[in-house]
């Protein structure tokens, strides 16, 4: 099951065209997927700060939960944080902004809380992403490059062009830092198979711009609370191997979160850890959603796969469940119980 190489939703502009479009913005709202990770946060902050340097008002909107480090890095950027599963809007949202920027996602399933007003801004929307799957009607203007390790890598030439800079090494620190944040976290701090010479070249330029790698690593990776490790114990105790040891599945129920005091952000990295097992080619974590009820169960799948000649395409597998992402990392939400979700996943991985 080889990896997909082309997005199924395409680009409509190049970096220069996107930069030209954004340079005319005067009042912008920047959105991303819920439970924002380092790439989502880094992308929103980099574009919001670049817009501000161009004289625009730019506000970032997040769907929670957000990790404690997010607000520390957001700093003075105007922001709003909304609850997962609740409509996220403001007074006259579709009229208050001349520009909508959507980063690190392009699927309605990951933008559900914004869907009440986003379609009204589709002709004023700019989308920047690096995922294989998306919905073309999210934005009429799109820049999608699936060869990039992170959305911030796609965004880097855009902000350079907006600010009239020849190299990312010339970027101001407040923009270089979030670009590096996305690049580092979406590559597992440069451990994953999506690392390329271009990835490392950009990382070097951003370090030359003044990014403190050690500081960022400490803020992102060394701030765990004990609850996360208690939750990891629950996840590992649920670990099962299938298909001759090729597939590993961990399961987390609502009671696991309640009894450990952990939240949804605390599951980050759980699937990656199990790829250390020699036989495992695909590792999944299935978590009951906090929006799940006995009558309407809902689960989230995080799937990670190893690279190699017989690599499993995570994007293609979870596409069968209405999800998607990257060839080596993808996610999906399934309206089913944990047991039923596991069964469907294993059928697709057979």
What percentage of the chain has pLDDT greater than the value 90? 84
**SS (HEC) of 221-236:** HCCCCHHHHHHHHHHH
pLDDT at residue 6 in the model? 56
C-alpha 15/C-alpha 272 separation (Å) is: 32
Domain final residue, candidates 221, 241, 267: 221
Same-domain pairing of 59 and 169: yes
> Is residue 288 a contact partner of residue 321, using CB atoms and an 8 Å limit?
no
195 occurs within a structural domain: yes
**Mean of the per-residue pLDDT values for the chain?**
93
Q: What is the CATH number of the domain that holds 281?
A: 3.10.310.30
Domain final residue, candidates 169, 192, 221: 221
Same-domain pairing of 186 and 236: no
Three-state secondary structure call for residue 276: coil
pLDDT at residue 4 in the model? 43
Q: What is the CATH number of the domain that holds 115?
A: 3.90.1640.10
What DSSP element (H or E) covers 106? none
Name the burial class of residue 279, with classes exposed (0-12), middle (13-18) and buried (19+) by CB atoms within 10 angstroms of its CB: exposed
Q: What is the span of the domain harbouring residue 276?
A: 226-349
pLDDT at residue 9 in the model? 61
> Is residue 139 a contact partner of residue 103, using CB atoms and an 8 Å limit?
no
Same-domain pairing of 202 and 177: yes
Domain final residue, candidates 186, 203, 221: 221
* Tens digit of pLDDT at every position of the chain (350 positions): 334 445 556 677 899 999 999 999 999 999 999 999 999 999 999 999 999 999 999 999 999 989 989 999 999 999 999 998 889 887 566 678 999 999 999 999 999 999 999 999 989 999 999 998 899 999 989 999 999 999 999 999 999 999 999 999 999 999 999 999 999 999 999 999 999 999 999 999 999 999 999 999 999 999 999 999 999 999 999 999 999 999 999 999 999 999 999 988 899 899 999 999 999 999 999 999 988 888 899 999 999 999 998 899 999 999 999 998 889 999 999 999 999 999 999 999 99
10 occurs within a structural domain: no
Same-domain pairing of 172 and 287: no
> Is residue 324 a contact partner of residue 290, using CB atoms and an 8 Å limit?
no
9 occurs within a structural domain: no
Same-domain pairing of 214 and 238: no
> Which residues, 6 or more positions from 240, have their beta carbon under 8 angstroms from its beta carbon?
248, 249
CA distances from 218 to 25, 115, 221, 257, 310 (A): 35, 35, 6, 25, 35
342 occurs within a structural domain: yes
Same-domain pairing of 205 and 239: no
Of 21, 203, 212, 26, the residue nearest 127 (C-alpha) = 21
Domain count for the chain, please give it. 2
pLDDT at residue 317 in the model? 97
> Is residue 100 a contact partner of residue 22, using CB atoms and an 8 Å limit?
no
pLDDT at residue 211 in the model? 98
pLDDT at residue 95 in the model? 78
Same-domain pairing of 152 and 299: no
Same-domain pairing of 196 and 230: no
Same-domain pairing of 128 and 274: no
Same-domain pairing of 76 and 109: yes
Rounded to two decimals, what is the model's pTM? Answer: 0.86
Same-domain pairing of 248 and 208: no
In this predicted model, what pLDDT tens digit does every residue of 207-247 receive, in sequence order? 999 999 999 999 999 999 999 999 999 999 999 999 999 99
2 occurs within a structural domain: no
116 occurs within a structural domain: yes
C-alpha 199/C-alpha 53 separation (Å) is: 25
Token pair of 140, please? Answer: 């009429």
146 occurs within a structural domain: yes
250 occurs within a structural domain: yes
C-alpha 173/C-alpha 150 separation (Å) is: 19
pLDDT at residue 305 in the model? 97
pLDDT at residue 13 in the model? 85
Same-domain pairing of 248 and 320: yes
> Is residue 312 a contact partner of residue 1, using CB atoms and an 8 Å limit?
yes
C-alpha 336/C-alpha 318 separation (Å) is: 15
What pairing do the DSSP bridges indicate for beta strands 299-305 and 99-103?
Answer: unpaired
């Amino acid at each position: 099951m080889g990896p997909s190489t082309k997005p199924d939703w395409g680009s409509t502009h190049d970096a220069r065209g996107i930069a030209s479009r954004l340079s005319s913005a005067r009042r912008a709202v920047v959105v991303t997927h819920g439970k924002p990770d380092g790439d989502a946060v880094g992308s929103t902050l980099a574009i919001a700060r670049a817009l501000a340097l161009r004289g625009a008002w730019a506000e970032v909107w997040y769907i929670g939960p957000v990790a404690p480090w997010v607000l520390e890095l957001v700093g003075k950027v105007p922001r709003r944080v909304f609850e997962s599963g609740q409509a996220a809007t403001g007074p006259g949202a579709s009229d208050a902004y001349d520009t909508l920027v959507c980063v690190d996602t392009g699927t309605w399933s990951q933008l559900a809380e914004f869907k009440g007003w986003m379609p009204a801004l589709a002709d004023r929307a700019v989308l920047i992403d690096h995922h294989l799957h998306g919905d073309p009607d999210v934005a009429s203007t799109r820049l999608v490059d699936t060869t990039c390790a992170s959305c911030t890598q796609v965004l880097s030439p855009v902000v350079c062009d907006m600010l009239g800079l020849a190299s990312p090494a010339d970027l101001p620190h407040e923009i270089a830092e979030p670009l590096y944040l996305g690049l580092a976290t979406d590559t597992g701090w440069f451990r994953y198979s999506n690392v390329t010479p271009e990835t490392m070249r950009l990382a070097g330029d951003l370090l030359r711009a003044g990014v403190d790698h050690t500081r960022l690593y400490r803020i992102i990776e060394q701030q765990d609370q004990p609850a996360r490790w208690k939750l990891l114990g629950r996840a590992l105790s649920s670990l099962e191997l299938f298909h001759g040891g090729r597939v590993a599945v961990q399961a987390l129920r609502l009671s696991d979160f309640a009894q450990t005091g952990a939240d949804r952000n605390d599951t980050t990295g759980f699937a990656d850890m199990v790829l250390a097992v020699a036989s495992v080619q695909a590792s999944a974590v299935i978590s009951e959603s906090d929006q799940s009820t006995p009558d309407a169960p809902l689960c989230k799948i995080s799937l990670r796969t190893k690279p190699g000649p017989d690599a499993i395409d995570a994007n293609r597998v979870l596409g069968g469940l209405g999800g998607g992402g990257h060839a080596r990392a993808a996610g999906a939400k399934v309206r089913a119980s944990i047991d039923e979700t596991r069964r469907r996943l294993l059928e697709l991985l057979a």
